[in-house]
Structure 1
Amino acid sequence: MRLKKYTDYALRVLIYTGSLNKGELASIKEISTVFNISQNHLSKIVYQLGKLGIIETVRGRNGGIRLRKAPESINIGEVIRDMEEDFTLIDDFDENTSEHVIMPSYQLRNALDQALLSFFTELDRYTLEDLLAEELAKLQGQDLNEMA
């Protein structure tokens, strides 16, 4: 299974905004520069994250975006479900013949369904807070290495 860049970028936005000091705002331009993502593309992602109630946007000259929810209440599995449109692991329908391609193999379909369920069960164990803790640990490790 492969997640779209759209979802990857949404997670980056959340990690970036989650790493800011409480109440601090980030701009789309700033995030765009840090991750080398088009501002137009980021605007669409930020809009969707806002519609989901995960981030809030502040308009105006000194505006920007910030988390609306606490990092510990943002579930990574839910975010991915909300950002992705399709979780079909294998096309089992041939559009040219209108026949099911893997219909005889219900066991395969069941195995794939179970794999997808396991994928989300694992992702549901993580919150944005978990990802932020990992990022903070990486940064602290870099700081220690730079001091040596």
Structure 2
Amino acid sequence: MRLTLHTDYALRTLLYLGARPEVRVSIREIAHAYGISENHLVKVVHRLGQGEFIKTIRGRGGGLMLARPAEEIRIGTVVRFTEEDMMLVDCDGLSSGGRPCILSPACRLRGVLGEALDAFMGVLDRYTLADILQPTDLARLFPELAKPSS
């Protein structure tokens, strides 16, 4: 399974914010750090706000912060929230607007793939943002994260 760019950017954003939980960060700063589109990141941030993973503060001194501790943000929950389609194959023809697969009545692949997806998500559910957040590693990649907060 390949995660969408939207989910990739969401996880990157959460990692960046988690590296400095006491500091408000701008979308521009995150986009610049990762070399990604600010416009696309605005959509990602909006979605993360809807899911109450981050909070946004407008105006002077505003910015983005985690809405709750990194220990309370499960990676599987983020992936489920940001991925629009978790279907591995389109046996019913729903996403393509086409016909169901001719093998559907007798095929057991759907069950096997469902089991595989459950296992994949089960692994992601075992980890929190705090588990994968290594501030020292991130500080090496992004020197601005090593600066003391003001």
Coarse TM-score class (shorter-chain normalised): 0.7 to 0.9
**Residue in structure 2 matched with residue 58 of structure 1 by the alignment:** 57
Query: What is the alpha-carbon distance in structure 1 between the residues aligned to residue 4 and residue 98 of structure 2?
Result: 29
Q: TM-score, normalised by structure 2?
A: 0.84
Percent identity between the two aligned chains:
43
Tell whether the 8 Å contact from 1:19 to 1:132 is kept in structure 2 after alignment: yes
What do the CA deviations read for 1:7-36 (whole angstroms, capped 9, x no partner)?
A: 00000000000001x421110000010011
What do the CA deviations read for 1:67-116 (whole angstroms, capped 9, x no partner)?
A: 01100000000000000000111121356873433314432111101000
Q: Which structure 2 residue ranges, 5 or more long, are not aligned?
A: 141-150
**Residue in structure 2 matched with residue 119 of structure 1 by the alignment:** 120
SS of the residue corresponding to residue 56 of structure 1 reads strand
Q: Which has the larger radius of gyration?
A: 1
Query: What is the alpha-carbon distance in structure 1 between the residues aligned to residue 104 and residue 9 of structure 2?
Result: 36
Query: What is the alpha-carbon distance in structure 2 between the residues aligned to residue 96 and residue 131 of structure 1?
Result: 39
Q: Which structure ranks higher in relative contact order (CA pairs < 8 Å, sequence separation ≥ 6)?
A: 2
Equivalenced residue count is: 138
Q: Which structure 1 residue ranges, 5 or more long, are not aligned?
A: 141-148
Higher deviation after alignment, 115-124 or 96-105: 96-105
The residue identity in structure 2 corresponding to 1:87 is M
Q: TM-score, normalised by structure 1?
A: 0.85
**Residue in structure 2 matched with residue 98 of structure 1 by the alignment:** 99
Query: What is the alpha-carbon distance in structure 2 between the residues aligned to residue 112 and residue 44 of structure 1?
Result: 30
